Structure 1
């Protein structure tokens, strides 16, 4: 009897447990269904937007440029000899004609004296030959000497005349070589390190440079643009000056800018770019050869363009597009990019000034899907990031 009572109690507990599980599952099922409308309500993608603008937009290219010397000269010896002295300091600014080096002039001065003496001797011989020729001419006319003697006197005179001319050339050469013992600067510029010191033998054949001089006032800037910019560049050069601006400032704090005065006559086949150059006065010597600078070049202007932020434009299988928010939904609009400066993009498409385009949160957006605007950037040149939300913030913004 006692065992029968225990079995009844046990069966009752099992039944109560089963009933509790069934009721719990039913409540969970009903509760989940009841929450569905609320979750559906909050399934809108959170986004940030900016306004489409209509304004003029400059077509500007940014690239990296290299500063190069306006002229670079390697100063070498023109004659062989011992280097007596260097008459400048390394890194010194020199003017054209300034004395840089002195080579021992004594051998060349002796060669000059020798050439001068030879010239004097041959001049004396020439004068004597001319007197002989005059005497032989008179005797020949009197038929007292043969024609052979007359011709020999004439030939001797001509030979000595030629010898005197050769002596003059040798004298000029000796004078030039003596002048080469003083090595002077061929240009205005800044000297580099001294490569050969006093006491060394220098030569005009196979000798190393003595010093290098770079002309840096004015100075050149070399940079390259993609060949796709060539039509814009050529059109701009016909009507306007193309200005190159670099990220350096003059003594008054203004950005350094100079007109492009050289365009290469060929496209680099390896990089697909064309080289351009501009001359900068460099009066403050702030630019040095080999220096890398950021270059900005204005190639064109797009008047009355539709401008959207760079982050608003996405790429799809059919080209570029933007999402326009209308009545809480994201409408996809295909656009054609006219120019992108990495901050703003000039586009063509079915857009109007003031339209709100999505600039952040596109990964969660589907065409014609619901979106929730968390904040708006003021214009097409603005940028922002989604801020972390706190519980209840989304519902507050939705209610507003």
Structure 2
């Protein structure tokens, strides 16, 4: 049975969904974590659909559905990157709820043996611009929450620091203090302004080459304190160049939702691990693809062609979800979770389900269905028709 979908011009056309999910989706979970790459999916939160989700209201989370989705990711062998921007940090999820999310998810990870790393930021700061001392204190508070929960820390970029820092020296001093305090090696996150315009000029310079030097200096000055770096600049060449300059003990986790297949596959001089928001909806296919890289003998590169055959076709969906304004990619991620049956509604904290147009959401459905991402294609079609009907689209 076909479904009528609107395109960008407002015209309706008929799309015929596929009858069966992709084999990796229909097979279900139950595999061990990949061996050749460390892979995290940055997970979304499920809102309480009956709460007041107007912009500025306190976030209300459906904890049962949120934790169930994390179990889905762990069951496929992926790690969970918790309380990151995919979870609407700074876009609806406030710090009290983020702290609760960290505690609940870390406890769930221990219960099921899943890997977890959690975002450490400064989003408890609000109001007038904060100085670097308040920024440092905010970071320290959140680092303590993550470490007390027993999770690995991901030190996220800070809007407050971007506003307060006078130059590279402030980043060197503040990050140095945090790294010296960290009980275990952390992941440093470089989030580009396409994801958050308030982070323009991070590391103390608008010049990305100069910013890179500051970033690398922080890592070099604190050996043993940095497990890896997550690079979210949507620039494959820049990430590759940075990756080649990292110490051997420091992983590069790609956060590039445009070029992840080539960056994870790597080349003769190295590869990237993964910490990606798009692996939230792509979990079954991502796990299948990365395990192809495990297929070879020790020291072998594995089945790179098989890896690319699974993951390359997912790039059009990812590029669509992350199209400008990139920071609203979460709306498409939550739509796909609803269509796939992972939650019972399409509501988001902060009312962010309205952040993308109906044609955008319709195209996301079509691309995801074409990949076989929906365990029950009939359910996905029915739910998409319900959303279309709310917007006045006739069957």
TM-score bin, normalised by smaller chain? under 0.3
Larger Rg: 1
Greater helix share, 1 or 2? 2
Greater strand share, 1 or 2? 1
